[in-house]
Amino acid sequence: MDRVISFSFIMPAFKSEYLYEAIDSILKQSYSSFELVIINDSSPENLKEIVNQFHDERILYKENKTNIGGKDLVANWNHCIKFAKNDYVILATDDDTYEPNFLSEALKLIKAYPHANLIRSGVKKIANNNQILDIEFPLKEFMTNWEFALCWAKGLTISCVSNYIFNKKTLLSRGGFISFPHAHFSDDATAIAMACEGVANIPANCMNFRMSNLNLSNQGNIKIVLQQIKATEEYINWYLSYIKEINNVPGDFFEKACYGGCKSKYLYIIERLISKIPITRIIIVIKTIFSLKHLFKTEKIRLFLFYLINKLL
């Protein structure tokens, strides 16, 4: 008789606005063998009152004594996954939601590709009112590690963390989630690294990624913007080292394709982040732009002109 495969949804919680929806979507899974561990990250909001509206023995509620995520978001992720009891873990959030077939579709892939340490669902971006903003097109059902790394460089995925199902043993053996400043790109790097034995992809968009101004990673103050720029630099270094390490494709196609896509994404992300810094802090902008290691001098000049034009027009 086949062993029952069970899942652990681990939800670090801080915000209350969409918490009920997030919990409700998990409890409505058609496949019922899972636990939901909600860890209140010392929130000033009354999250326990919302959790208590559900009477389901699969829910376990815990509270952090201090706000770990406010200082280091990835440290809190790694703290929270230690509560997972089952073999497969999903890092849920307090505002994203799941379609009822999320786990049942994942289960099919786990049985089909038992060696894979990573299962991935397609993603829908949703607004505060649940209106669909964007969707992913289906990926190949199974991808090798180099195919998945190239997929990221080509911009074929929506970056988030809650659509992944990780083999807990492998994730913990690798030290948990990879940490970059302000968790920027920590989800991408961890997923790419966990695809060491390939990744199995749910063809349907079973996870809804909420684009909310309440999201910690979307706050636009200068300190956070500079942290995100630093994280972008660190991640690109990591990514370029990683593709050299895994490259087993004849010729130089793979590295060139990854580098080209990576460079385009890098420039786009830096442009978007720099534009959040006010013109009154132009000295910081100049120092930041000309410290970037992955841009040529001409690209830095163009980036600075792009910034000025956007601020002065």
Mean pLDDT rounded to a whole number for the chain? 92
Which of these, 73, 100, 98, 102, lies nearest to 88 by C-alpha position?
A: 102
Residue 20 included in any domain: yes
Q: How much is the pLDDT for 310? A: 86
Residue 116 included in any domain: yes
Give me the percent of the chain exceeding a pLDDT of 70.
97
Q: Are the C-beta atoms of 261 and 150 separated by less than 8 Å?
A: yes
DSSP sequence for 210-275: E--TT-GGG---HHHHHHHHHHHHHHHHHHHHHHHHH--SSSSHHHHHHHHHHHHHHHHHHHHHHT
In the chain, the number of structural domains is 2
Which CATH number covers residue 11?
Answer: 3.90.550.10
Q: How much is the pLDDT for 249? A: 78
Q: Are residues 142 and 242 in the same domain?
A: no
Residue 239 included in any domain: yes
Query: Which of these ranges, 11-25, 68-82, 172-186, 214-228, has the smallest mean pLDDT?
Result: 214-228
Q: Are residues 125 and 262 in the same domain?
A: no
And the tokens for 301? Answer: 């000049």
Residue 2 included in any domain: no
Rounded Cα–Cα distance for residues 17 and 95 (Å): 8
Q: Are residues 121 and 269 in the same domain?
A: no
Number of other CB atoms surrounding residue 179 within 10 Å: 19
Rounded Cα–Cα distance for residues 203 and 123 (Å): 10
- Domain span at residue 121 reads 7-217
Q: How much is the pLDDT for 44? A: 95
Q: Are residues 198 and 264 in the same domain?
A: no
